Amino acid sequence: MRSSVVFVCTGNICRSPTAEGISRRMIANAGLSEQIIVDSAGTHGYHVGEPPDLRMQEAAARRGYDLSGLRARKFVRDDFQRFDLVLAMDRDNHALLSSLAGATADSKLRMMMQYARRFDEKDVPDPYYGGPSGFERVLDMLEDAVQGLLDALRGGNASLAAPPDKR
């Protein structure tokens, strides 16, 4: 069964395209490219059509992730029908997405960091206004959360993929 996931941040130029890029590579390495489809979007249309932030691209490239072919787009209500799982990067994104979601679509909405194992933070911080260490931190957090997500998705429908219990 095919599963589809969309990662969502504010402008779709730092966090969500990075989650998409990491996911694409991990999915390919796991031989799951036919089973799991990923995309990314932003809650705002500030950067529609633009590539990811160059600083994010460079940090990701140092770890072997190529984000250069990705382009920013705005999340639209129809994405709730197109995707099994909608993953928000922070609580503000989650609140905006929740206001867009109908009663049934809200069940598809989760926080990205619910899947992390090594990090207790609820939000993936936006590195846009910070220095180089912020981009590295985002990569660390997203690599961890994406691995947790893939483990949850293996063999199941994305809408049923429960985040790991982090008690």
Identified catalytic residue from 39, 53, 90, 126: 126
Identified catalytic residue from 14, 15, 39, 110: 15
Any catalytic annotation for residue 126?
A: yes
Identified catalytic residue from 9, 14, 53, 84: 9
Any catalytic annotation for residue 14?
A: no
Residue 52, SS3? coil
DSSP-assigned letter for residue 74: B
Q: What is the rounded CA–CA span in Å between residue 146 and residue 151? A: 9
Q: What is the rounded CA–CA span in Å between residue 113 and residue 32? A: 22
What are the b/e assignments for 10-44, b being 16+ CB within 10 Å? bbbbbbbbbbbbbbbbbbeeeebeeebbbbbbbbe
Any catalytic annotation for residue 25?
A: no
Tokens of 95: 């609140």
> Annotated active-site positions, please?
9, 15, 126
